[in-house]
Structures are given as structure tokens and as C-alpha cells.
Structure 1
Amino acid sequence: MSGFLTALTFLTRLPAPGFAPERAGDLGRAAPWLPVVGAIVGLIVALAAALGSGAGPWVGALLALLAWTAVTGGLHLEGLGDVADGLGAAHGDPKRFIEVARDPHTGAFGVIAIALQIATKLVLLAAMMQAAESDLLAMAAALALTAAWARWGTLVIARAVPPLGDGLASRLAAGVDPRAVALEGVGLAIVSLFVAPMLIAAVPIAFGLALYWRQRVGGVNGDCHGASIEITESALLLLLILA
């Protein structure tokens, strides 16, 4: 279970007592477990939404968003902000992109991207809760699948796009098995057919993001993966509302 616990401690702030990732496993070993951890994140978000639903969809959406940010530690939002700063300053230069993305300071592009993403998720979650009404179980399943698909997309990108130097992206890519990715994708697609078929759109979204990173930057780093997760989650939430 070291791979699962590594994925859990890396992608979330959930406790794993007595587990030391540096001794029991690395990020590459955790790769197949990313969608599973995503589903756990989605269920926690759904629980928060359900707790606040009695006070109205906006309160439920706010609690869900707070839970989403808290359980992930804002990890993917940070990646989105770093990518926005990098793209704004790099002008197609991969070395400049990495340099800016690694800067611990957040620039104007990053602040704007994070603010817009938070606002987007809040509005989409509220609309989703209004549409779901009393069917909280279906909403929980849809949120779990949304978060799982977003992290499955990370595996596709890690396999399809070369890493930008040594780091998180290269360690993740080393553990990605195309057969496992395909099997997980089929499994998610089968479940989605019964819950929310439009979520299968995560497949073209993942390949579209992979193509974007390859053409725009020439590779991916950890921030690109975080940004991809945020973009995919928002896109799937939008599809759930439009369906």
C-alpha cells in the first residue's frame, strides 16, 4: 500500500500516521493511485456540499470549495498560478518558463488565474447543487468521478509529454504504465456511463492539454500537472451543469 499512501500524502493533506514516503515509496510508485485519491477528494468535497446544502446552494458550494482547497492544500491552485506567471513571462522559452514558475513569489498573472479559478469553481458548484436538488448521492458520485478523471488526465499527460528537466514531472512519468492508464480509463468510463456520461469528455480534454503543453512549452513540470487538474475539474463541472 506504499504507493497509495504516497499518493495520499502527496496530493492531499489527509494524515497517514506512521508513514514516511521517502522510505516506503516514491511518486512513480504512486502514479496508478492518483485517480483513487482523486475520488476520495471528490467524496470529501461532496460531503461538505451536503452539509451546507440545507442553508442553500451557495452556502453548500462555499463549504465544498473550502473543503476542496483544504484537503488538497491548494497544491493545484498554486501550480495554476505558477503556470500563469510562467506563460505570461516566458514567451515560448522553456528555460524562462521553468525559471519563472519556480520563483516562490506570485506575480499578477498568477493572482488573476487563481482568483478566476476560485470564482469559477464556486459558481459551478452552486449551479451544480441547484441542479442536483435533493439527489445528493448522484452529486457525490459525479464529484468523485470529476476529481478522479482530472488526476487520470495527469497520467496521460505524464506519458505523452516529456518532463521539463528533473523534478516532480520526471519522477511521476517514470511510474506511469500505459496499460494501467488504459485500464483505469476504461474503468472510469464504464462507471461514468451509469452516473454522468458527459464526464468521458475528460479523455479528449487530457489529450488536448497534452498537445497544448507540448506545443506551447515543449514539456511539462509539476506546476503544469497541477494546472491541468484545475482546468480539467472546472471543464467537467461545466459539462455536468450543461448536460
Structure 2
Amino acid sequence: MISRQKVQYEWQVFLLAVGFLSRIPVPADPDFSEDKLNGASRYFPLVGILVAGVSALVFVGAAALFGNQLIAVLLAMVASILLTGAFHEDGFADSCDGFGGGWTPEDVLRIMKDSRIGTYGGVGLILVLSLKAAALFAMATPAILISALFWAHIVSRWLSVSYLLDLHYVRGEGKSKPLATTMPLSHWLWSGLPILALFVFTDSPPLIPLCLALLVFRFAFAAYLRRRIGGYTGDALGAAQQVAEIIVYLVFLL
């Protein structure tokens, strides 16, 4: 039987994950520890449910109010960006700048650390947001669009934390340093439990193309990270989440 202390501990770890990935205020943990923050990554896919739920609600409300799916899609995207503080988008832009402008691992990491967005980051951010909007607007029905939101926000976060299984963190400082630990396989598998709910409550995409596309991207990007910088950074995880999110949307259109 699970003890009350264990439930309370996991609840506090979940709240840390919410606070880390979003702008949602969470109560301060009186028993905060680095171990708790290290374990927060196993709840990232669960936080994806929260982000997708807010986006879906905004989409439904905007569609009913304005009667225009494109406006509803854009407002849903705005809601998710405001909720997360553009956390993953920022990582994607920094990764574009770093990998686009840096030749050596040291150059890549130095550019990534710069808070300013360069040409590569700006162009990459425009393209990734445009792809999301176009893919969501092209969904056949609102029900499929809402299903795509949940699949994308949950699965993409599950994929992004998978890099903690076999890659090393290569930046010695920064906001992602507390999460720079290896994740046991059992924790990663448990973190994917929210995906089971998708099969029950949502329309499913073509699963074989989805699995193949995500697997190819996951291992190709891991090989790229090893070759370019020798491991992962928080920005690289954000980039992985953004690309995986788009992959899910595109597979829904097949």
C-alpha cells in the first residue's frame, strides 16, 4: 500500500514539474530538495495534458465565438505559449542559433547561452510556429484537432525526456542544471502512462507512421547531439519537443 508520505512527495515533485515547465504559480515546497527537482522530469508528459487542455479549451471557445478555425488555432497557440512562457520555443530558437552559427562544441554552447535571438533562431521560430498553425488549421474536424493537441503535447514531452536515458548533460550551469541527471528506464516508462489515456479519450493518429517518424527523429537527433556537442542541453530538449510536436501534427494529416 502506498503511504501518505509517498503520495505527498510525488505530488510535490509534480508541482515542481508544473512550475518548471509553465508560468502557473505553485505553492512553495517547505521540504524542497534537489532530488525532487531531479525527479520532476518524469512528470513532464503529465504537464503536457495541462497545456493541451488549456489550448483545447481556448480553441473551442474561440471557434464558437468567432466562427473561424484559423483564428481559433492561433489563439490556442497563444494560450499555450503564454501558459509555458514559450519555454520550449525558446530552447528551439537557441538551438537553431547554436547549431547554425557554431562550429566547435564550445562555440555552440556559448551561442546557446546568449539570451539574444539571432538570424537562425528567428527564422527557425517563424517556421516552427507557421508549421504548427498550418498543420492544425488543416485538421479535418475540430475533434481531430483537439485529439492532435493532446497527442502532440504529451508524446513530444515524453520523447524529449528520453534523452536523459542515454545522453550526458554538457552544460555546467544554467536553469536546466538541476535536471541534468540520467533517468532510469523505469521512470521514463512510467512517465509515459498518460499516453494510455489518449487511446481511450481521443482519436488516434496512424500509429505505425507515428512511431517510425518519432523513432527516426529521436535517434537521429541523439546521434547529432553526440557528434556536435557530446550530449544534451536544456535548449536541445526544447528543440526536440518542438520537432516532435510538429511530427505528431503532420502524422495526423496522413
- Asked whether the two chains share a fold, i.e. TM above 0.5, the reply is yes
Give TM-score, length-normalised by structure 2. Answer: 0.83
The answer to whether the Cα contact below 8 Å between 1:28 and 1:175 also exists between their aligned partners in 2 is: no
Q: Aligned partner of 1:113: which letter?
A: G
Please say if 1:160 is aligned against 2:166: yes
Gapped regions of structure 1 (runs ≥ 5): none
Deviation of residue 30 (structure 1)? 0.4
Q: 40-49 or 182-191, which moves further after superposition?
A: 182-191
The answer to whether the Cα contact below 8 Å between 2:38 and 2:180 also exists between their aligned partners in 1 is: yes
SS of corresponding position for 2:138: helix
Please say if 1:2 is aligned against 2:12: yes
The answer to whether the Cα contact below 8 Å between 1:42 and 1:144 also exists between their aligned partners in 2 is: yes
Please say if 1:71 is aligned against 2:83: yes
Give the counterpart of 2:32 among 10, 23, 45: 23
SS of corresponding position for 2:226: helix
Q: 142-151 or 176-185, which moves further after superposition?
A: 176-185
The answer to whether the Cα contact below 8 Å between 1:52 and 1:60 also exists between their aligned partners in 2 is: yes
Separation (CA, whole Å) in 1 of partners of 2:29 and 2:141: 40
Q: 182-191 or 36-45, which moves further after superposition?
A: 182-191
Deviation of residue 23 (structure 1)? 2.9
The match for 1:41 is 51
Q: 174-183 or 68-77, which moves further after superposition?
A: 174-183
Gapped regions of structure 2 (runs ≥ 5): 1-10
Q: Aligned partner of 1:19: which letter?
A: A
Alignment of 1:28-177 (within 5 A): 28-54=38-64, 55-91=67-103, 93-128=104-139, 131-133=140-142, 136=143, 138-167=144-173, 168=175, 171-174=178-181, 176-177=183-184
Please say if 1:182 is aligned against 2:205: no
Separation (CA, whole Å) in 1 of partners of 2:31 and 2:87: 19
Q: Percent identity?
A: 26
* Cα distance, 1:189–1:204 mapped onto 2, change above 3 Å: farther
Higher Cα radius of gyration: 2
Residue by residue over 1:125-155, the C-alpha shift from the partner in whole angstroms, topping out at 9 and shown as x without a partner, is: 1112xx124xx3x543431221111111122
Give TM-score, length-normalised by structure 1. Answer: 0.86
Q: 212-221 or 97-106, which moves further after superposition?
A: 212-221
Separation (CA, whole Å) in 2 of partners of 1:223 and 1:10: 14
Q: Which runs of 4+ in 1 moved over 6 A?
A: none
The answer to whether the Cα contact below 8 Å between 1:46 and 1:140 also exists between their aligned partners in 2 is: yes
Give the counterpart of 2:225 among 213, 231, 238: 213
Deviation of residue 172 (structure 1)? 2.2
Q: How many residues align?
A: 235
Separation (CA, whole Å) in 1 of partners of 2:166 and 2:176: 12
* Cα distance, 1:190–1:53 mapped onto 2, change above 3 Å: closer
Q: 214-223 or 78-87, which moves further after superposition?
A: 214-223
* Cα distance, 1:182–1:207 mapped onto 2, change above 3 Å: farther
Residue by residue over 1:55-75, the C-alpha shift from the partner in whole angstroms, topping out at 9 and shown as x without a partner, is: 221011111111121111111
The answer to whether the Cα contact below 8 Å between 2:97 and 2:119 also exists between their aligned partners in 1 is: yes
Q: Aligned partner of 1:68: which letter?
A: S
User: How large is the RMSD of aligned CA atoms in angstroms?
Assistant: 2.4
The answer to whether the Cα contact below 8 Å between 2:12 and 2:29 also exists between their aligned partners in 1 is: no
Q: 194-203 or 171-180, which moves further after superposition?
A: 194-203
Q: Aligned partner of 1:120: which letter?
A: L
